[in-house]
Amino acid sequence: KMANLALVVSDFNHEITSKMEQNAENAAKQLNAKIIKKIHVPGAFEIPFAANKLLKNKKIDAVVVLGAVIQGETHHDVVIVNAVAPKLIELSLKYNKPIGFGIIGPRVTWQQAEKRAEEYAKRAVEAAVKMSNIN
């Protein structure tokens, strides 16, 4: 059956995440999946909150999360991704619905993130669709 997806997009590093959003939409089309809801959040830290809301929705089969957490002067990028990733796994298991993980980082430069934007978005959608078809 056609997978109904929801998208959570972090607006931090918008130049990168907006590209990721476009690539995710294209990937969904190619896989004959439908994005029925989209939530934009300020940064990666807010992604689990939005994902939690979307996973509660009976019409949504899977959630795809997109973000770019770039390396700065401190280890803030590591702290953020290490907080967000386990929480998303927990939510996925709690609601028994897959989450396609399209968060770039930690420890990446702007250039590396730009290079990975398309691939990460596409892979996250592919994973969400594949996993939503598991019985």
Residue 72: burial class (beta carbons within 10 Å; 0-12, 13-18, 19+): exposed
One DSSP character per residue, 30-73 reads HTT-EEEEEEEESSGGGHHHHHHHHHT-TT--EEEEEEE----S
Tokens at 96, concatenated:
């028994």
Q: Which of 14, 40, 75, 76 is catalytic?
A: 76
Q: Has 40 been annotated as catalytic?
A: no
Question: Residues with catalytic annotation?
Answer: 76
